[in-house]
A and B are shown apart, each in its own frame.
Chain A
Amino acid sequence: MRTLGGPLFALLLQADGGAVPEGTSTSIVGLIADSSPISKTVLLLLALFSIVSWSVIFYKLWTFQRARRQSASFLDVFRRSNKFSEVQAVCRSLNESPLVGMFQAGYTELTAQLRQTPEAGPAGGARPTIRSLTAVDRALMRASAVELNKLEHRVPFLATTASIAPFIGLFGTVWGIMVAFQGIGQTGSTNLGVVAPGIADALVATAVGLFAAIPAVYFYNQLTNTVKLFASDMDDFAMEFLNIVERNFT
């Protein structure tokens, strides 16, 4: 059975904000497409910075990961084996580790010294000795410098990106706002519809600059800290190596 009640209406009216002018796209890509050549250049530059810095970040993270893993296995081999020649044989496969470079330098110095004094020991059973422990130490220090340089290579680019990218973005923004104000002067209208697209367009540059800079800052700090940890590991290894040499060859 159907009762014909009065139809119930509930009406919600909302006055539309109406702030979005027709014809201009609100998406970020639309903003970029409408922008001037200068700001496009700025954006392209920032994109290049971002691409290169991310390349460096990925590369460094990858190599540090490999170096850490190979250092761990190298130290494992180094501490378990009795002969340096055994360790030297392993070095070929653990080439990424900075400790391998130090070991190879120290070992080379050591063998050179031992070869120069083969006749020093009169008896065959006598222990071979080296002439200078400080020379081995110096060789280790040289190797350490080389390895640190290799680890730090390209990391400063991240610092450069972190400090320059916001400024480049700011330049693009300032330029865009200048253009926007010129537009105001020409049209003589301070209508928000005239001013706002230009300024929004200009602000994209700062946003992209920050987008490039923020990861660069974060990973610069992280990578330099990792390099510091590697350096302390290398110092530790140098002490250990020198101790073993002193114990066995003097």
Chain B
Amino acid sequence: MAAPAADVTDVLRDRQHEAGGLRQMAVVSIALHAVMIVGLTFAPGAWFAAQPEPRTVMTISLGEGAPGPANGGISTIGARAIQTPQPIEAPKRPDPVRPPAARTPEMTVPIPQAKPQPARPAPPVKDAPEDARGRTPTRGAQPQFGSAVAETGARGQGFGLSTGGGAGSGSRLDVADFCCPDYVLLMVERIRSNWNSRAEATGQTMIKFTIQRDGQITDVSVLKSSGLAALDINAQRAVLVTRTLPPLPEPFPNRTLTVDLSFEYLR
């Protein structure tokens, strides 16, 4: 028979010892917390910051549809009303008055002793100065429709990306509230001038970049690849070579402008 402890109390005292292992578990716990803190430290910041939704999305596509009107970019819809010319009233002419009839001359008697006066020669006729040439009288500054256009500051539905007047292609646009279409136009023109649109393949590449307040182009990246690296690089190069644009327009409220620009290669 095994010799048990003599008393129940002794047995209970023996049993009161807690099992070991708490220290090991504390080490495990500390290690887990350390791993978590290190993970948080080196986690990319994008995990914690919500990605801001783009506030406005503007879709402009060029080259589709019929050519736009050759109005130099000013459309009748978008134009603001300017002051209409008032018709100028002709000045009142005085009523014609009939002059009284000449009185009949009294009879005179010629003087027989009078000497005949020598006839004086007619004075030589001089040409009047050129300024004295008679003109058609004008009736004030009357606006006339001509080739000139007035900058009224109005921009509307048809701001016209028809760059170069009649040569412009049709444009379809869906503008939310970007203030300054001129800027977009200029940006597109600059980038297009650096872009070699002719390639041996077809495809569409979307490039994303950000324009800083001072016009610097930063963060150029391929948003949607065409599948061909050459096309992507070509499009990216067009943006990178452009490098700077004019500063963002004054009415534009934000610090930066992010643009998704899609380059479409057609053969």
A52 to chain B, nearest CB (A): 7
Q: B254 near A18 (CB under 8 angstroms)?
A: yes
Q: B52 near A11 (CB under 8 angstroms)?
A: no
A73 within 8 A of B: no
Supposing A29-B40, A50-B33, A108-B8 touch, asked if A16 and B258 sit within 8 A by C-beta, the answer is yes
Q: A147 near B60 (CB under 8 angstroms)?
A: no
- Map CB proximity to B onto A57-87 as digits: 1 under 8 Å, 0 otherwise: 0110011001000000000000000000100
B contact residues, total (Cβ < 8 Å): 67
Supposing A4-B198, A105-B11, A108-B8 touch, asked if A26 and B63 sit within 8 A by C-beta, the answer is no
B100 to chain A, nearest CB (A): 81
Q: List residues of A (1-46) whose CB comes within 8 Å of B's CBs.
A: 2-20, 25-30
Supposing A4-B198, A109-B8 touch, asked if A55 and B25 sit within 8 A by C-beta, the answer is yes
Q: B12 near A101 (CB under 8 angstroms)?
A: yes
> With a CB–CB cut-off of 8 A, which chain A residues contact B56?
13-15
A167 within 8 A of B: no
> With a CB–CB cut-off of 8 A, which chain B residues contact A229?
none
> With a CB–CB cut-off of 8 A, which chain B residues contact A111?
4
Q: A108 near B4 (CB under 8 angstroms)?
A: yes
Q: B16 near A11 (CB under 8 angstroms)?
A: no
State in angstroms the CA–CA spacing of A59 and B29 once bound together.
Answer: 10
A142 to chain B, nearest CB (A): 6
Task: Name B2's contact: one of A8, A89, A95 (CB within 8 Å).
Answer: A89
State in angstroms the CA–CA spacing of A146 and B195 once bound together.
Answer: 84
Q: B19 near A11 (CB under 8 angstroms)?
A: no
Q: Select the residue from A5, A11, A16, A59 with max chain B CB neighbours within 10 A.
A: A11
> With a CB–CB cut-off of 8 A, which chain B residues contact A20?
49, 52
Supposing A2-B198, A16-B254, A146-B16 touch, asked if A9 and B263 sit within 8 A by C-beta, the answer is yes
State in angstroms the CA–CA spacing of A85 and B32 once bound together.
Answer: 45
> With a CB–CB cut-off of 8 A, which chain B residues contact A245?
none
- Map CB proximity to B onto A97-129 as digits: 1 under 8 Å, 0 otherwise: 000010011011101100000000000000000
Residue of B nearest to A153 (CB): B18
State in angstroms the CA–CA spacing of A63 and B21 once bound together.
Answer: 8
Q: B61 near A108 (CB under 8 angstroms)?
A: no
Task: Name B63's contact: one of A5, A52, A105 (CB within 8 Å).
Answer: A5
> With a CB–CB cut-off of 8 A, which chain B residues contact A164?
none
Residue of A nearest to B16 (CB): A146
Q: A16 near B54 (CB under 8 angstroms)?
A: yes
> With a CB–CB cut-off of 8 A, which chain B residues contact A19?
52
Q: A11 near B4 (CB under 8 angstroms)?
A: no
Q: List residues of B (1-57) whose CB comes within 8 Å of A's CBs.
A: 1-2, 4-8, 10-12, 15-16, 18-19, 21-22, 25-26, 28-30, 32-33, 40-41, 43, 45, 48-49, 52-57
Residue of B nearest to A211 (CB): B36
Q: A105 near B8 (CB under 8 angstroms)?
A: yes
Task: Name A107's contact: one of B4, B30, B192, B266 (CB within 8 Å).
Answer: B4
B136 to chain A, nearest CB (A): 48
Q: B26 near A55 (CB under 8 angstroms)?
A: yes
Supposing A9-B262, A104-B4 touch, asked if A62 and B21 sit within 8 A by C-beta, the answer is yes
Q: B41 near A29 (CB under 8 angstroms)?
A: yes
Task: Name B254's contact: one of A15, A58, A85, A154 (CB within 8 Å).
Answer: A15
A88 within 8 A of B: yes
State in angstroms the CA–CA spacing of A228 and B267 once bound together.
Answer: 79
Chain B residues engaging chain A, CB cutoff 8 angstroms: 1-2, 4-8, 10-12, 15-16, 18-19, 21-22, 25-26, 28-30, 32-33, 40-41, 43, 45, 48-49, 52-64, 169, 178, 184, 188, 192, 195, 197-198, 204, 206, 210, 252, 254-264, 266-267
* Nearest 6 A/B pairs, CB to CB: A14-B54, A17-B52, A12-B260, A8-B264, A13-B58, A10-B262
Given A6-B62, A27-B43, A55-B22, 16 other A-B contacts at CB below 8 A? A7-B263, A9-B62, A9-B63, A12-B58, A13-B259, A14-B259, A15-B54, A15-B258, A17-B52, A17-B53, A18-B256, A29-B40, A54-B29, A101-B12, A108-B7, A146-B16
